[in-house]
């Protein structure tokens, strides 16, 4: 489970509102909420949805502990409400796109139905889980795409992750396409590969760099990656590594790699590659780390830096440049009546009613565009740009997928919870169906997301009601 006390892992106002609904007898009214985001992070073209498994497991086990009730009592919550919370369980329904799905702004990625109290109460927990893991899965996918098909990308971020956020940063990085992690805790918990060899301190603790290298190679002859920049990369680091590789060869082993952690990585990787190749060590790989992200890796690739393994830390696990996905959770209906939020900012106006997403395909199976429509709509003929209705597309003849599927029904999990590896495989498969223009680092093409005619008309009618 995500956290042992999910009920108090929340914003205080969820509880004051819940009590308000309860005391006014309104808590049993049915309600629907949508989870969606408004802006793609990193100036990118897509988001990978992640965190679903933790969310649904946690919601299925959502309850208030004695200690939490006690705390709320001291905070002056009313006895009758606390009695209600004592037996509280989430009994609603959740529909969601698959974990690992490629998603876009304004789409109701996940929909919650239930009574007003229970659907409100899970808001903060839901946002906390989904916003962060989707952010990092997206960042990881960008980095993996920048690195290309050959090189391996590894998560080295735990030391700079935002506290315990490191646990799920690693999970999300693996979903986004990373090949492994240094994070032992998460590797164990999520069954993904962990690895790592030495820090500078290992080298420093010996009287000589060569001694440090030789000792390491002695104990890890088949998994030796030597860190070569402690004193002088090209002057002694790589030459000492070559000496050790030759000694390993004599004993029938092959050194795995050297690692560069400072200096100009393009220059040093080329010079190191040359030294290694000249010594007949073409099989020894080059790993690089130090403030890497998708842009630095892209630049290294365009310079033909011969790097085989990228260790990415801080900028991966903190979602560097956009440290949060702006996902929100908005009421779409009460007792079947569609609801709308207007707001002073136009982009904060919401879409009313219970909705779903159809994804339309091109003839080659790649994604054409997505439509948001009412749940009861069977098919639609065209979709409209959400804010410029004159812009529309005919989708009559296209194949489509219905992306939202039930994951919780009446409080019980009804979907399978795939392993992280499975989710990663799905994300990769879906990314392959997204055309390259949407995956560009600079100014990616904007993926088409439209709304159905019915949805547009309903929204506009509700807007008019408030204006009059």
**Residues in region 109-168 near a copy of itself by CB under 8 A:** 116, 120, 123-124, 127-129, 131-133, 135, 156, 158-168
Residue 194 DSSP class: B
Looking at 41, 48, 68, 456, which residue binds a copy of itself (CB under 8 A)? 68
Closest CA to 58 of 326, 406, 416, 413: 413
CB of 368 to a copy of itself, least distance (A): 32
Cβ closest to a copy of itself, residue 93 vs residue 230: 230
Contact between 314 and a copy of itself per CB under 8 A:
yes
Q: Measure the CA–CA gap between 278 and 143, rounded to whole angstroms.
A: 31
Per-residue tokens: 339: 């609801």
Q: Which stretch binds a copy of itself (CB under 8 A): 270-278, 320-328, 394-402, 447-455?
A: 320-328
- Contact string 32-51 vs a copy of itself (x = CB under 8 A): -x------------------
Contact between 53 and a copy of itself per CB under 8 A:
no
Contact between 169 and a copy of itself per CB under 8 A:
yes
Contact between 24 and a copy of itself per CB under 8 A:
yes
Q: Which stretch binds a copy of itself (CB under 8 A): 259-267, 362-370, 400-408, 423-431?
A: 259-267
Question: Residue for token digits 């403030």?
Answer: 291
Contact between 318 and a copy of itself per CB under 8 A:
yes
CB of 8 to a copy of itself, least distance (A): 4
Q: Measure the CA–CA gap between 396 and 28, rounded to whole angstroms.
A: 40
Per-residue tokens: 151: 């090189």
Task: Report the half-sphere exposure of 206 (CA within 13 A, side-chain side).
Answer: 16
Contact between 239 and a copy of itself per CB under 8 A:
no
182 three-state secondary structure? coil
Residue 349 DSSP class: P
Q: Which stretch binds a copy of itself (CB under 8 A): 10-18, 85-93, 269-277, 420-428?
A: 10-18
Cβ closest to a copy of itself, residue 248 vs residue 403: 248
**Phi-psi region for residue 90, left (φ > 0), alpha (ψ -120 to 50) or beta?**
beta
CB of 156 to a copy of itself, least distance (A): 7
**Phi-psi region for residue 43, left (φ > 0), alpha (ψ -120 to 50) or beta?**
left
Q: Measure the CA–CA gap between 51 and 133, rounded to whole angstroms.
A: 5
Q: What residues pair up with 373 in beta bridges, in sequence order?
A: 356
Cβ closest to a copy of itself, residue 330 vs residue 355: 330
Contact partners, residue 20, CB within 8 Å, separation at least 6: none
Contact between 83 and a copy of itself per CB under 8 A:
no
CB of 412 to a copy of itself, least distance (A): 25
Cβ closest to a copy of itself, residue 233 vs residue 415: 233
- Contact string 197-216 vs a copy of itself (x = CB under 8 A): xxxxxx-xx---------xx
Neighbours of 24 (CB within 10 A): 8
Radius of gyration of the chain (CA): 26
């Amino acid at each position: 489970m995500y956290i042992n006390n999910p009920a108090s892992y929340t914003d205080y106002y969820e509880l004051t509102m819940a009590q308000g609904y309860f005391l006014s007898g309104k808590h049993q009214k049915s309600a629907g909420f949508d989870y969606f985001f408004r802006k793609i992070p990193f100036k990118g073209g897509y988001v990978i949805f992640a965190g679903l498994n933790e969310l649904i497991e946690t919601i299925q086990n959502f309850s208030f502990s004695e200690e939490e009730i006690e705390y709320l009592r001291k905070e002056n919550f009313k006895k009758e409400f606390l009695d209600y919370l004592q037996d509280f369980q989430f009994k609603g329904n959740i529909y969601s796109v698959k974990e690992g799905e490629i998603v876009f702004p304004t789409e109701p990625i996940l929909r919650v139905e239930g009574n007003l109290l229970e659907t409100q109460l899970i808001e903060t927990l839901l946002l906390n889980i989904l916003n962060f893991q989707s952010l990092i899965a997206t960042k990881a996918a960008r980095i993996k795409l920048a690195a290309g098909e050959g090189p391996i990308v590894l998560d080295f971020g735990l030391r700079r992750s935002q506290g315990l956020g490191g646990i799920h940063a690693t999970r999300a990085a693996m979903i986004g396409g990373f090949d492994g992690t240094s994070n032992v805790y998460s590797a164990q918990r999520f069954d993904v590969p962990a690895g790592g060899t030495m820090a500078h301190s290992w080298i420093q603790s010996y009287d000589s760099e060569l001694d440090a290298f030789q000792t390491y190679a002695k104990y890890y002859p088949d998994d030796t990656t030597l860190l070569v920049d402690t004193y002088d990369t090209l002057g002694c680091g790589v030459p000492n590594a070559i000496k050790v590789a030759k000694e390993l060869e004599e004993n029938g082993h092959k050194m795995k790699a050297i690692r560069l952690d400072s200096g100009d990585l393009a220059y040093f990787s080329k010079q190191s590659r040359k030294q290694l190749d000249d010594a007949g060590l073409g099989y020894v790989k080059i790993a690089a780390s130090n403030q890497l992200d998708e842009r630095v890796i892209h630049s290294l690739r365009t310079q033909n830096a011969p790097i085989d393994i990228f260790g990415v830390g801080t900028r991966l696990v903190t979602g560097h440049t956009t440290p949060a996905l702006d996902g929100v959770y908005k009421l779409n209906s009460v007792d079947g009546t569609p609801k709308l939020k207007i707001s002073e900012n136009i982009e904060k106006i919401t879409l009313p009613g219970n909705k779903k997403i159809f994804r339309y395909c091109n003839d080659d199976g790649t994604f054409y565009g997505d439509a948001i429509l009412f749940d009861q709509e069977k098919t639609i003929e065209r979709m409209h740009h959400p804010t410029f209705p004159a812009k529309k597309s005919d989708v009559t003849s296209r194949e489509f997928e219905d992306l939202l599927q039930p994951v919780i029904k009446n409080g019980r999990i009804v979907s399978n919870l795939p392993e992280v590896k499975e989710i990663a495989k799905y994300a990769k498969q879906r990314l392959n169906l997204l055309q390259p223009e949407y995956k560009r680092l600079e100014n990616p093409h904007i993926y088409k997301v439209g709304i159905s005619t019915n949805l547009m008309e309903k929204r506009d009618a509700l807007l008019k009601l408030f204006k009059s």
